[in-house]
Structure 1
Amino acid sequence: METKPAQFTAETENLLIALYSRAHDAKSAKPILNDRMAITVSESIEYDYAKLKIRDDDAISLAIRGELIDGWIRSFLDTHPDAVVLHLGTGLDGRVHRMDPPASVEWYDLDLPEIAALYAQLFPEREHHHVIGSSVMDLKWLEQVPTDRPTVIVAEGLLVYFTEEEVKGLIRKLFSVFPSGQLIFDAYTPFSVKAMNKHWTVKASGKRFVWGLAEPASLEQWHPGVKHHDAWTFFGSPYIAHMPWTSRVVCKIMNAIPALRHYNRVMRYSF
């Protein structure tokens, strides 16, 4: 396979952790997400992935979350086949290729300009798929997205890096611009935000976690018509069985302790 001498900065190099984790899962005996595009893209890049020291449980955790979010998006598109998918903070996640939505869906991937350019270099083009290079907080990018269709907004691994006021301002704007839809994102509690800032993957990114969501229902107060539907945790996933036995023991202990049970959740709201 031809490799591409892609140019990575210290910040964009961190995106390879998630990319290779998805490829690692796809190559496993029992893949969860089975992202074949992640294999193709990761193998096209001239890079020594061994230095990332990806662990099985980290790759499995990312795959479990990704599989859940893919399922929620798919469910929304089954009901709204003419929807817009707005994927914020895409990184090097080829979700649109993995899910292969019908041509009636318009899909928008957004990330910082240098990351969007890297994405466009590494992933093939496809119809009805648009890549926008912008900070999510520079809301001028909204001018490029249709606002007359049901919209599912996904912000995986993104909102935790902003302050609560920044997140609140963004969400209020999105809810006011789009007519109806769902918002899907992962959230940590204030306690787990502090703990995660000591985790190797967060340290490797060079960025710290900032925002923690204590009560999922509190977001319903941010804008009229918002309803909280799900606060999903890893401990309910059957794929926990794919983890090494030591990680399974840790998961059982965490699930038994209320303060740790909600360490990381995937949220779904309708608006």
Structure 2
Amino acid sequence: MPADPKASPADIMPLATVMARLRDPDTGCPWDIRQDFASIAPYTIEEAYEVADAIERNDMPALCDELGDLLLQVVFHSRMAEQARHFDLQDVIDGITAKMIRRHPHVFGDTAHREDGHAQWESIKAAERAEKEPDPSALAGVALAIPALLRAEKLQKRAARTGFDWPDTTGVRAKIEEELAEVEAAVSPQDRQEEIGDLLFAVVNLARHLKVDPEVALRAANAKFERRFRQMEDMAGDAFASLSLDAKEALWQRAKGKAKAD
């Protein structure tokens, strides 16, 4: 790895050449040739999550490997687009380079307003969205395919910029209690599903007000549950499944106490 930041830039063309060979209709890989944007999209999402997982585990060799897998997805989509005469890899690189420069005038232009960098970013982003988005709603352009917790947070942030927001957490907590009561009052499966959705949306709102990333928080909770559950299994051995609920709860409390002691 070059120590000099001004050393030769990384060369992405070998990877692009490999992908061109894989997608060659005459001599390429049959599986790669069969793929289209829709069939590859799930892999793209999966690779992004694997990048996040490597970061969470602080595993730098794995992060390097997963970033390569994610980069492959960009090259794969770009090659398919080039073959369909939509755009190519250079268009992707040029587009994101121009966007980053355009959205950072406090770095690449007016350096007198460095402290307003995030505000400028959001303002420029909103203006760009208004130019290309026929939908005039403040909620326009929030991708449908992103995780539901993240989308809920983004929708709430957009609404908050218009002034539609609780001034503090008091109203948010009251809303959570209201939604929980509606869950308990729901009768049909459809009603329960709707009310659980409303409850989750309200909890995301509380997380946003407390400046907690709900996706990160839930991932941490999942990891904690898995860690403690595995400890319960280890403590009980093969008898775990046959234990009573009270016995399992006792093991849970032991695992929880052990975690606090550690």
TM range (shorter): under 0.3
Structure showing the higher helix proportion among its residues: 2
Bigger-Rg structure (1/2): 2
Task: Kindly indicate whether structure 1 or structure 2 has the higher relative contact order, using CA contacts under 8 Å at least 6 residues apart.
Answer: 1
TM-score (norm 1): 0.23
Structure 1 or 2: more strand by fraction: 1
